[in-house]
């Protein structure tokens, strides 16, 4: 198994923008066969170093992760997220 964790800090950090980004990310559930599990969590602390959204995605293998990255549904979601994200961080590990 491979787990990929992404932290997203949005340009517009209001509750509406965060909710929209969360909904867009969750729209991938059930549409990409390579994506075994997806969690999208919203920060409740809102500290100076906080990110707005954590995305936890699980894949069967690194090959499945790579196939997910080019899947048309992910590509569309990534276009939207790329337009609203100020900065991001990621960690990918075997789980």
pLDDT at 51: 98
State how far the Cα of 26 lies from the Cα of 10, in Å rounded to an integer.
16
3-state class of 2 per DSSP? Answer: strand
CATH number of the domain residue 68 falls in: 3.30.70.100
Query: What is the extent of the structural domain holding 58?
Result: 2-94
The pLDDT score that the predictor gives to residue 48 is 86
pLDDT per residue over 17-52, tens digit each?
Answer: 999 999 999 999 999 999 999 999 999 999 889 999
Spatial separation of the C-alpha atoms in residues 69 and 72, rounded to whole Å: 9
DSSP symbols for 19-57:
HHHHHHHHTTTTT-TT--EEEEEE-SS--TT--SEEEEE
Q: Above 90 in pLDDT, residue 4?
A: yes
Give the span between the Cα atoms of 23 and 14, in whole angstroms: 14
Mean pLDDT of all residues belonging to the chain: 97
The confidence score (pLDDT) of residue 79 equals 98
């Amino acid at each position: 198994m491979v787990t990929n964790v992404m932290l997203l800090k949005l340009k517009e950090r209001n509750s509406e923008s965060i909710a929209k980004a969360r909904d867009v990310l969750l729209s991938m559930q059930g549409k990409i066969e390579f994506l075994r599990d997806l969690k999208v969590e919203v920060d409740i602390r809102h500290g100076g170093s906080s990110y707005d959204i954590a995305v936890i995605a699980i894949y069967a293998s690194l090959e499945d992760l790579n196939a997910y990255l080019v899947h048309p549904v992910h590509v569309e979601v990534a276009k939207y997220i790329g337009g609203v994200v100020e900065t991001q961080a990621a960690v990918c590990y075997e789980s």
